[in-house]
Structure 1
Amino acid sequence: MVWEAIKTRHVGAERVKEARLQTLMSDFDRLKMKETEKIDDFGGKISEIASKSAALGVSIKEPKLVKKILTSLPRKKYIHIVASLEQVLDLNNTSFEDIIGRLKAYEERIQEEEEEPQDNQTTLMYSNNENQATQSNRDYNYRGRGRGGRSYYRGQGRGRYNGARDA
């Protein structure tokens, strides 16, 4: 009778463990990185699920973790690095930490690139406005000089030709 109670308790605990494991694995499968999320934070979520799973007796193999992170990244932002890593590395023999490190380096680089164009855009707009102002001043300065306008381009006007004429 005592053995039956222990056995029943163990079976119940085993079912709870299985249910928790099922929940973890479905969370793992549904996990996707948000556009605004950082690599560190997303990698932490994957690591947390892997740790909880290992505590329940089922370890998620490293290649599965690596493939999960690469397929869960926002495609628009990370497609270039994912394609490169898939081509260059043997994903079955690459550590999860290595992939996280490479992705963090890429994230920092694209963050710098996203900040730079705004500075260039501002400079371009300033430069463009400056050119327009210079052009309108030039137009103003050369108006009203006879029928041809812009005497700067046409000489002094009629009958004043200083060069030698072909006779």
Structure 2
Amino acid sequence: MALVPHGGGAGGSAMPLFCPMLTRDNYPVWAIKVEANLDVQGVWEAVVPADPAAAVDPEKNKRARAYLLGALSEDILLQVSSKKTAAAIWECLKARFFGADRVKAARLSTLHDEFDRLIMADGEELDVYAGKIGCMAAKFASLGGTLSDAEMVKKLLDTVPESLFAAVAGIEQFCDVETICFDEVLGRLKAFQERTERRKAAVGGERHGDQLLLTAAQWEQRRRTRGGGYDDSGGDNNGRRGKCHNCGIRGHFARDCRKPKKKQEEENQEVALLYNIDEHPCLL
């Protein structure tokens, strides 16, 4: 069903207004669209009169009622078709999908608890988390409640990760968090996050290169100092420093020892002893 705004004849720009269909799950959004369409038609006052005691224009009531009935599926339509005024149809739908006052109060209480538990998950994008807060505000509005910008700003600043705490401190110091717009706070946090990530990427690469060069220099110094072995400072150092099994001096291994090897020296002593025995048989 499409309606043409009232007064959109010759000389006016006619824009057809399509009527959204009401389902079991879309009442809050449906109600917002219908209110806007009926308001631009100039017949919303037939649904919710500004003055409840004033009489409703019959022509406006007919147009508003026709529009509402055209937005209902058959099963819902049959339940409200006996209502003769647009206001009665609207109240009937509101009671069915929106709930009575006590039900709304209970839903608002549950929604408050859900909002209090809301927190930004690790690795979650700022836009995604801000979208969750904005969705909560829409839910509050659909139940007749309000979630102010100050409450949304406080929730955002209190639940961002530690990497954004510097930006939070700056916002709280130089801005009035009671009056600043939620979108402005979100923009400041996003700008800080993007700048921080760019800086980490640049500085992180430089530090990584320096670390590799420093490590290579350290190993080169050790190689030059000990001839490929390890330095001779005290301590165990995971078992890499100890006493040479050849000369008994700490700081190098037996394979790197420049003194005669023990085994070779013992063999030389045996040869010398045999030589002495051959020269002096009397020793036998």
Give the TM-score of the pair, scaled to structure 2: 0.42
Matched, 1:38 2:151: no
Aligned equivalent of 1:159: none
Instruction: Report the equivalent of 2:76.
Output: none
Choose 116-125 or 40-49, whichever is displaced more.
Answer: 116-125
Partner of 1:28: 115
Rg comparison, structure with higher value: 2
CA–CA distance in 1 between the matches of 2:222 and 2:154? 59
- For residue 90 of structure 1, what is the aligned residue in structure 2? 176
Measured in 2, the distance between the counterparts of 1:77 and 1:29 equals 22
Indicate the SS of the match to 2:146.
coil
Distance in structure 2 (CA, Å) of the matches to 1:133 and 1:71: 48
- The partner residue of 1:111 within 194, 197, 210 is 197
Paired residue for 1:68, among 124, 135, 155?
Answer: 155
Name the CA shift for 1:64/1:127 in 2 (closer, same or farther; >3 Å).
same
Q: Which moved more, 1:114-123 or 1:56-65?
A: 114-123
TM-superposed CA distance for 1:103, in Å, is 0.6
Checking the alignment, whether the CA contact within 8 Å between 1:66 and 1:99 is kept in structure 2 is yes
Partner of 1:3: none
Q: How does 1:119-158 map to 2 (within 5 A)?
A: 119-136=205-222, 138-139=224-225, 140=227
Residue among 136, 141, 147 paired with 1:54: 141
Kindly provide the CA deviation profile for residues 102-135 of structure 1, in whole angstroms up to 9, marking residues without a partner as x: 0111111222233344413320222113323543
Deviations 1:17-53 (A, max 9, x none): 2222222111111111123112111111100000111
Structure 2: which 5+ residue stretches go unaligned?
1-90, 228-284
Q: Does the Cα contact within 8 Å between 1:39 and 1:107 map onto a contact in 2? A: no
For 2:218 and 2:156, the matched residues in 1 are separated by 50
Flag the 1:35–1:110 CA change in 2: closer, same or farther, 3 A.
farther
- Determine which structure has greater relative contact order: mean sequence separation of CA pairs < 8 Å that are 6+ residues apart, divided by chain length: 1
